[in-house]
Amino acid sequence: MIERIVNPRVVAVVAMIASIFVGPAWYWRNASPLVARAVAIHRAAGAVEKQKQEAQRAHGWDFWTIQMENLASELKEEKARLHKRSDDMDRDKARLDAERKELDRLRTDIQSMRQEIDDRVIMIKADESKNLKTLAQTYTDLTPAGAVAIIRELDDATTVKILSLMKPDAVGSIFEAMTTTASPDGTLSRRAAALSEKLRLIKAAPSPSAATASN
C-alpha cells in the first residue's frame, strides 16, 4: 500500500489534484485584499466623480437660476408697465367718454335753447318783407273787426309779422277788437296778449344794402 502511494505517478497525480484546489484557494486568499482595495478605490473615484458632477451641476443651476430670476424680474416689470398703461388708457377712455357725454349734453341744451329762441323770436326774412308790407297795408285799410276775423284763421308767426309792419294805432285797434270778440274760451284777449309779447321779440332781417354797408 505504501509503495503504491510512494509511486511517482501517484504522487504526481495527487500533486496535480492538490494544485487544482489549493492554487485558487491560495490565490483567492491573497487576492481578496487586492480586489477589495481595487473596489474601494473604484468606489472612491466614483464618489469623487459624482461629487464633481454634482458641483458642476450645482454651479450651472445657480447660473441658470440667476438668469431665470433676471428674466422673471424683467417680465414682471414689463407686466407692471403694461398694467399701468392699461389703467391709464382706461382712465383716459373714461375721461373722454365723460367729456363726450358732456359735449352731447351741451349740444342738446344749445339746440333746445336755439329752438326755444326760434319759437319765441320771429324773424322776417328779406324775401318775404315786400309781401308782408302789402298785407300790412291791406289789414290797415280794414276795420278792426274785419282784421280780427282774418287773424283768427292765421297762425301766430304770420300774424305777428304782419302786425309788426303796421302802425301802432292800427295794431292797438285790432287788439281792442280782439278783447271783445268771442272765442271758445271766452274772448281773444289771451291770444292778443300772446301776440303782443311776440311782437316785442320780432326781428327783421337786414336789407341787402345794410348788409353790404356793414361789410
| Cα-based distances in Å from 174 to 151, 153, 171 | 9, 14, 5
For residue 89, the enclosing domain spans 67-120
Residue pointed to by grid coordinates 382706461: 90
Query: Which is it for the CA torsion 75, 76, 82, 86, positive or negative?
Result: positive
Note the pLDDT of residue 138.
Answer: 92
Residue 43 lies in a domain: no
Residue 19 lies in a domain: no
Note the pLDDT of residue 212.
Answer: 43
Note the pLDDT of residue 201.
Answer: 78
Note the pLDDT of residue 215.
Answer: 43
Note the pLDDT of residue 199.
Answer: 87
Domain boundary among 86, 105, 120: 120
Give residue-wise pLDDT tens across range 77-92: 888 889 888 888 888 8
Note the pLDDT of residue 26.
Answer: 53
Number of domains in the chain: 2
Note the pLDDT of residue 188.
Answer: 86
Note the pLDDT of residue 148.
Answer: 93
- Identify whether residues 92 and 169 lie together within a single domain: no
Listed as ranges, residues in the chain with pLDDT below 50 are 1-6, 208-215
Q: Is residue 147 within 8 Å of residue 174, measured between CB atoms?
A: yes
